[in-house]
Chain A
Amino acid sequence: MKHADLHRLYPKILGYAAVSVLVTGLIVSPWGNTARATDDENSVNLYSYRQAFLIDPLLDAFTEQTGIKVNTVFVKKGMLERLKAEGRNSDADMVLSADIGRLHDMVTAGVLQGVSSDKLNKNIPSQFRHPEGLWYGLTLRARIIFASKDRTQPGEVLSLADLAKPALQGRVCTRSGKHVYNVSLIASVIANEGIDQTRQWLTGLRDNLARKPQGNDRAQAKAISEGVCDYAIANTYYMGKMVTNTLKPEQQQWAAGIRIIFPDQDGHGTHVNISGAAITKSAKHRDNAIALLEFLSDTHAQEIYAEQNFEYPVKPDVTLHPLVSSWGKFKADTINLDKVAQHRITASKLVDETAFDLGPQND
């Protein structure tokens, strides 16, 4: 009855297997180290809204230059709540964000501390940093219009408002109105034009949509190349990423068919969002964090940003990526971003009110 014997051993084998997995796991794993590797004096701890693969080159350069180790954790939803809950004992020294909205929420929640240094003030123009130094912009991301080279005439669309013109019915694409980039964009329209105007514009834009809002900015470029729509709202750097994507040649195709429009050059200027950083109130490595902040705002890091991610540096004298500069100079909206961020909740509600994300409702 070999079979039966094996059977009776079965639970035992399972049990031993489970225990040995656990034990070896705990011994072999690097967990013991990761658990509290953050106490090291010569380090700085970073909560980042930006993906590790985007910021690692910068951080490596910083460590190489200063010898300060950077510990990161990429967090999206709930970073603010985690910071708040951890309170004064939080290990985080610094926060990295891809959008003004998140930074603004942290200011409101009171988890940041103001810092300032000559270098920061020199490197970062005042409209891209918080008046009390609660946050600093590091790169600029212009929210622009992609237009099909084949199917649009230059001059047809010059502003965001033009996208709501009845002539464009069924010809516009965008990602969800609820995405942070669009919420900030709509908030900037509110800040400039007021709520009623914005509601009207949003309704017009909604009815011009070729399809229900979906995908990210790159997906809009794809949609233009597919002929789904002729115009799309997107961030500039997506263009750079597509043009240089040798691994996915089809993306170069998409980009090739696209003309870039910087909207509102005759008005208040193109909406510009920032990616930025802030020092937490609880920062235990405050000096290291300021050093990192200064490093990120300095020429070397700004060039890496420009090189790697096709963003516009905040530091005015840094040379642009040749591709980026080929898109030409543009007038950026100079409205204070803090003011824009205050309208984000209203913007989000307008998206609900106009049922923007359900797509066109005129058929």
Chain B
Amino acid sequence: MKDNTSMMAAGLSMQNISHAFGQHRILNDISIEVPNGQIACLLGPSGCGKTTLLRIAAGLEPLQSGKIIIDGRSMSKSGGRSVPPEKRNIGLMFQDFALFPHLNVVDNISFGIKGSLSERKRWIVAGLDKIGLAGYADHFPHELSGGQQQRIALLRALAPEPSVLLLDEPFSGLDATRRASVREQTLEFLKESGLSALMVTHDPEEAMFMSDNLLIMDKGQLIQSGPPIEIYSHPKNSFVATLFGQIDVLDGRVNNDGLVETSLGNFAANQIAPGTLVDVLIRPEGISPCKKSHITTEKTETVSLRVVGARPIGRSSHLRLTTLSGVNSSSIIRARVPGIFLPETGSLIDVKIDPAYVFVFAKQDQTP
């Protein structure tokens, strides 16, 4: 057990936050902790309330219920008022970057700097240099590309040396090629500054890449939290499992041996009571082709599948497969195979299925 108080000493703590817009409940009793130096990501589908949570942390939405502690300081004041955003010592990065169109790059960055500007001048120059925009001090936002704007917005948010940085979908405005490099740079920046960061995203890859602590949200509820790899490999339910990209679902029922029998073989039911109807979720990367001779030493069974289609997608290949007995399209199984692997359509291949990529959950609706 970690010592609770020491965790509270710095960073962001939101406790029992509930929020409603009129009759519409947006957030339901959510608590999160982001200690100093840590990056937490809120991952969830759009409309799950994650941005609202971020805005409440920033003070841009009024706190209706619960409490917020930033850097050991409560954000609630007597009389039910909240500390206004400008007094919270936070930084916020917007999805649209929200650079001030009437100010040039330097003025944008120094907007939040209190006191002597000359002291921070060197920091700004160094920062611009570091993000590769050294010559752009006099430019106006509309003269910059999206990636450049994103980096300026990050510098601007960091310039006043906030203790907590909040990021709202900071990479979603960027094209795919830029995204990776900007992401790396941002991560590097955040880690260097040592502040606590809370980022909102709907992109699982981004969330996994950035976060020390991943928080999964759905319909105003916190579903699961923990280190990203933990959540990726041990999703709590099918919603969480599905969040991380394409996944195939097979129907099944737990037999008396605690196994689920499917057309792709038997899988352990993880203590789900026999007779229960279950979903078996298989990640495409859990299916790999193998040579028949290969199998015997391993516990895993192999299954023969027919190739319906195969497309190269760069570093990996995307296969669409079907069981031999399968007739309708719903029995299509997808596999992601590293490298170029493009078997002919109609041919048969043997695959093995890695149980680490297979998740079994009881169905909500138990009527067969």
Report A-B touching, CB under 8 Å: yes
Residues of A within 8 A of B (CB): 1, 4, 7-8
Choose one: A1, A7, A8; the contact of B138 (CB below 8 Å): A1
Near A by CB (< 8 A), chain B positions 238-274 give none
A199 CB, min distance to chain B CBs, angstroms: 62
Residues of B within 8 A of A (CB): 102, 104, 138, 140
A179→B140 CA distance, assembly (Å): 64
A246 CB, min distance to chain B CBs, angstroms: 61
Closest chain A residue, CB of each to CB of B138? A1
Chain A residue contacts of B102, Cβ below 8 A: 7-8
Can you list 7 contacts pairing A with B, beta carbon distance less than 8 Å? A1-B104, A1-B138, A4-B104, A4-B138, A4-B140, A7-B102, A8-B102
A7→B101 CA distance, assembly (Å): 12
B106 CB, min distance to chain A CBs, angstroms: 11
For the complex of A and B, list the 7 residue pairs with the smallest distance between their C-beta atoms, beginning with the closest.
A1-B138, A4-B104, A4-B140, A8-B102, A7-B102, A4-B138, A1-B104
Chain A residue contacts of B140, Cβ below 8 A: 4
A125→B57 CA distance, assembly (Å): 87
A1→B140 CA distance, assembly (Å): 11
B81 CB, min distance to chain A CBs, angstroms: 32
A14 CB, min distance to chain B CBs, angstroms: 14
A80 CB, min distance to chain B CBs, angstroms: 51
Chain B residue contacts of A7, Cβ below 8 A: 102
A8→B102 CA distance, assembly (Å): 8
A7→B102 CA distance, assembly (Å): 9
B99 CB, min distance to chain A CBs, angstroms: 15
A309→B138 CA distance, assembly (Å): 72
A1→B104 CA distance, assembly (Å): 11
A344→B279 CA distance, assembly (Å): 92
Chain B residue contacts of A1, Cβ below 8 A: 104, 138
A7→B140 CA distance, assembly (Å): 13
Chain A residue contacts of B138, Cβ below 8 A: 1, 4
A4→B102 CA distance, assembly (Å): 9
A121→B44 CA distance, assembly (Å): 96
Closest chain A residue, CB of each to CB of B140? A4
A45 CB, min distance to chain B CBs, angstroms: 53
B279 CB, min distance to chain A CBs, angstroms: 60
A7→B138 CA distance, assembly (Å): 14
A170 CB, min distance to chain B CBs, angstroms: 68
A355→B140 CA distance, assembly (Å): 67
